[in-house]
């Protein structure tokens, strides 16, 4: 394992799962999964219902505790660390339902995230420049996600897709190395999904992304590499063209609506 003083090279995985397992009594939801994600990669995790995607995602993030195996992040074993410590180390996740302060302004939501990242709180005895710096940083993140024009609106006034954009701004405020998106386009309209895809495509290439997503069109447009789970195990892993052509993956998805369309047309120009 890489030591704390050894720099991580561009080809060294930023995230490694080594025989990661999560069981609930006699039920094994995630079964000895090996997976690696290199810095800057857009890596998607897909699979039919019940494949173990959400459980694996939560175990990697630290929301759930691993039953066996290891989670290695930036060369360090974080298997036994809580989610909060993984966030401090640069591993930040989103949830299927955005967690926002709905009665606060869009700007204040991001400003609070900036505060949390820098472990400071507003106090009357602190210099005003510190407040201005926080607000400036928050505005930069809002501009990145396309919400600069909504900064003074309350979060409750945002559409579902805009709330997702706001959530991304709050994630960016944490200064992450790895962002884990959990079903980010669920419930979005086609137009909102298109905006979200464009947003992710604009994110810096230095930012590594792991995404669990049900919309295979989104997956095949965004991902450099795709890992398919089936019954808690890795069924296949590779580039989007390879995954689309994999017969075992097609069989795993049999019974899904428009399965053939998902694998033939996803990612192709309309």
**DSSP 8-state assignment for residue 7:** P
pLDDT the model gives residue 30:
97
Distance between CA atoms of 243 and 58, rounded to whole angstroms?
24
Tell me the pLDDT tens digit for each residue of 30-49. Answer: 999 999 999 999 999 999 98
> Which residues, at least 6 apart from 180, have a Cβ–Cβ distance to it below 8 Å?
57, 60, 61, 91, 92, 93, 94, 209, 210, 211, 212
Q: Give tens-digit pLDDT for 70-79.
A: 999 999 999 9
pLDDT band (50, 70, 90) for residue 234 = very high
Q: What local confidence, expressed as pLDDT, does residue 267 receive?
A: 46
Average pLDDT over residues 14-41: 97
Whether 99 shows a pLDDT value over 80: the answer reads no
Q: What is the pLDDT of residue 256?
A: 52
Domains of the chain: 13-90+177-270 (3.40.50.300), 99-175 (no CATH)
CA 257 – CA 171 distance, rounded (Å): 33
Q: Residue 268 above 60 pLDDT?
A: no
Instruction: Say whether pLDDT at 20 is over 70.
Output: yes
Q: Write the pLDDT tens digit of every residue in 56-73.
A: 999 999 999 999 999 999
The Cα 79–Cα 20 span in angstroms is 9
pLDDT tens column, 174-199: 899 999 999 999 999 999 999 999 99
pLDDT-derived band at 120 (thresholds 50, 70, 90) equals low
For residue 68, the cross-strand partners are: 21
Burial of 33 (0-12, 13-18, 19+ CB in 10 A): buried
Q: What is the mean pLDDT of residues 243-251?
A: 91
Specify the pTM.
Answer: 0.84
| pLDDT tens-digit series, residues 126-173 | 544 457 888 899 999 999 999 999 999 999 999 999 999 999 999 999
Mean pLDDT of the chain: 87
Residue 269 has pLDDT above 60, yes or no: no
Q: Determine the average pLDDT of the residues in 81-90.
A: 94
Look at residue 221 and tell me whether its pLDDT is greater than 90.
yes
The confidence band for 219, taking pLDDT boundaries of 50, 70 and 90, is: very high
Asked if the model's pLDDT at residue 83 lies above 50, the reply is: yes
């Amino acid at each position: 394992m890489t030591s704390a003083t050894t720099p991580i090279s561009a080809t060294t995985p930023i995230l490694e799962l080594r025989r990661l397992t999560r069981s609930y009594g006699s039920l094994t939801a995630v079964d000895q999964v090996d997976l690696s994600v290199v810095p800057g990669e857009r890596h998607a995790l897909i699979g039919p219902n019940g494949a173990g995607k959400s459980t694996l995602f939560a175990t990697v993030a630290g929301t759930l505790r691993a039953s066996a195996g290891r989670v290695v992040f930036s060369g360090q074993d974080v298997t036994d660390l809580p989610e909060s410590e993984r966030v401090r180390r640069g591993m930040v996740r989103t949830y299927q339902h955005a967690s926002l302060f709905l009665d606060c302004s869009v700007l204040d939501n991001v400003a609070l995230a900036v505060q949390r990242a820098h472990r400071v709180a507003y106090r009357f005895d602190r210099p005003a420049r510190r407040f201005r710096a926080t607000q400036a940083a928050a505005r930069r993140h809002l501009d990145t996600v396309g919400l600069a024009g909504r900064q003074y609106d309350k979060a409750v006034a945002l559409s579902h897709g805009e709330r997702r954009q706001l959530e991304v701004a709050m994630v960016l405020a944490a200064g992450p190395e790895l962002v884990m998106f959990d079903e980010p386009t669920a419930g979005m309209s086609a137009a909102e999904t298109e905006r979200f895809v464009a947003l992710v495509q604009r994110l810096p290439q230095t930012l590594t992304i792991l995404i669990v997503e049900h919309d295979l069109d989104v997956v095949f447009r965004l991902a450099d590499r795709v890992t398919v789970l089936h019954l808690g195990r890795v069924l296949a892993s590779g580039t989007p063209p390879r995954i689309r052509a994999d017969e075992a993956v097609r069989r795993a998805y049999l019974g899904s609506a428009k399965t053939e369309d998902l694998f033939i047309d996803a990612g192709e120009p309309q």
